[in-house]
Amino acid sequence: MSTVTDRWETARRAAERRHREAIERDQHLGNQVARWFERVEEFRAASDEIMVLQTPTEADRRFHRAYLTQIIADGEELSILARLQDVPPTPQGINLEAVEAELELLHATLAGEHYLTSEQRQSILSEVFEHGAKSKA
């Protein structure tokens, strides 16, 4: 009789351990997502300071691109892991859709800052601001 009890007790403990590990993994991934968003905010603040409020040097542009691509790569990895593990929203309310939306913005920033020519960028800005001025009139 104790053999049956022992087997079930072993099975129960194993199930509880797997459950705890899953919760810890989800919390760990959720914490990584929250920290990633903090990095994005810090990056955007530094980017505004260096790339917008100052005249960036070539080294500034290269560091900007390198840091931006690292953040994008980390976000893509978190997005994949969150999707595979079906991670619930973080305590801060951050969900997979928020990560993917932020990634789209970061990709647009990368394209706009580093892959458009000055003429293309100026054309887009002129079109946006001219359209905005016309729509207010």
Record the tokens describing residue 1, joined without a space. Answer: 């009789």
Shortest CA distance to 69 belongs to which of 100, 31, 114?
114
Per residue in 27-47, pLDDT (tens digit) is: 688 888 888 999 999 999 998
SS3 92: coil
What is the model's pLDDT at position 6? 77
Record the tokens describing residue 96, joined without a space. Answer: 């997979």
CA distance 108 to 87: 26
CA distance 90 to 32: 10
Residues of the chain with pLDDT under 50: 132-133, 135-137
Per residue in 118-136, pLDDT (tens digit) is: 787 788 778 878 764 454 4
